[in-house]
Amino acid sequence: MKKIITLSVIASTLTFAGGYKIPEQSLNGMALGAAYVAHTTDADTAYYNPANMSFLEDEVSYMEGGLTLAHLPSNQYDGIQLLPAVTPATGKSETENLPIPYFHYVAPAIGKWRYGVSMVAPGGLTKRWKTPVQKLFAEEFTLKVIELNPSVSYKVNDNFSVAGGIRMVYSEGIVKSDGNAVGLAAKRDMKGNSIDFGYNLAMTYKPTPDINLAVTYRSNVDLTESGEANLYLGGVGQQYNTDVTIPLPATLSLAISKTWNNTLTLEFVYERTYWSAYKALDFQYDRPIQAALVSAFDDPKDKSWEDTNTFRLGVTYAVNDTLTLMGGYAYDKTPVPKRTLSYELADSDANIFSAGFRYQQTKSLSWGAAVLYDSKDKRTLNAGENGNGIIGTFSDGGALLMTVGASYRF
């Protein structure tokens, strides 16, 4: 089984949040732009804040499933590339359309204890370039991530609950690059997978029936990839055993919600993501690789990503007993400094807008839809600002996400 460097994919790609996270993992989560930590009310509580499982109806089982369709427009680059000679490099990445399923379940309470489980896709995407200069760095970077997250909550009293869980992360990746179109006879082709583990913690305190205070923490998960890499020089390839370790960073969320007359709920979330754990990308091989490829594929690549803050605001309004409307806004900082930005992830700060609804079909069944738009800022790199030789402007990109989901209580 080939296990190669899914990590370089992960470290180089992202979709709907700064870096490579996808925090929107349910109907409510999508509609609220992930401003959904303190006030969680359905099966997706198991993922967003398992401490709140204690405050769901004791004798009821909760289940939710759905599908998100992610449309990733092209990234436009206008500028030049130092190779080291000055080379025109204007081009567009390929447009991508990706399905992302999710599932959540919460079991009935057993005394003060309760358990739940979520299966989600918390990160990943496909980034492909067909333009010559960009192919040298990122002909294709594909990442698929599935996380199984069982959790348990304990109800300390009617106002306070704590919870914890295990993160089991399975990832698959493809890494391709090809410099032949710009006269550099270097090429790589990598495929692989990995299983790695982490944990999550949560607590909720209700000082009054209409106010929730919550803290959640998702641990860093080191993806310890090992496998095989096919490296080509002048059309002649060699295969190597290789390994690399790169973090999926820890995230801390602090949230507060306030509800008026069981009708209107506002929630604010402050999210801190510890991207500074990603310092460099350093591949290790079982033997020396071709000397002409050392600079491109063997020397450590500086990343020096930075910890980031994300601010999220969500509003939920119960129009009547059957229809609930939701909306959200978030401001998301990129962790990628100008100095280490590359074509694999031309990331920038983003404004995120979301909206959705839930319809209560019967006492047990509800369904709904949501949409989210991630608008990325333009990012310009002037001469001397980028260590990868990029001088120009990245624009467009971002993401448009559409989710449909259904919940059932029994």
Q: What is the pLDDT of residue 192?
A: 77
Element of type H or E holding 323:
strand 323-332
pTM: 0.90
Q: What is the CATH number of domain 6-409?
A: 2.40.160.60
Instruction: Give DSSP secondary structure letters for 2-39.
Output: ----HHHHHHH--SSSSTTB----SHHHHHTTT--SSS
Number of Cβ within 10 Å of residue 286's Cβ equals 12
- Where helices occur in 105-157 by DSSP H, the ranges are 132-138
pLDDT, averaged per 10 consecutive residues of the chain (410 residues), comes to 36 44 86 97 97 97 95 93 92 90 97 97 78 91 87 98 96 84 87 90 97 97 85 90 84 98 97 93 88 88 92 98 97 94 88 97 97 94 94 92 96
> Which residues have a Cβ under 8 Å from the Cβ of 71 and sit 6 or more positions away?
95, 96, 97, 399, 400, 401, 402
- Whether 5 and 24 have beta carbons less than 8 Å apart is answered as no
Element of type H or E holding 394:
strand 390-396
Using CB atoms within 10 A of its CB, is residue 229 exposed (0-12), middle (13-18) or buried (19+)? buried
Residue ranges per domain, the chain?
6-409
- Whether 82 and 101 have beta carbons less than 8 Å apart is answered as no
Identify whether 88 is preceded by a cis peptide bond (ω within 30 of 0): no
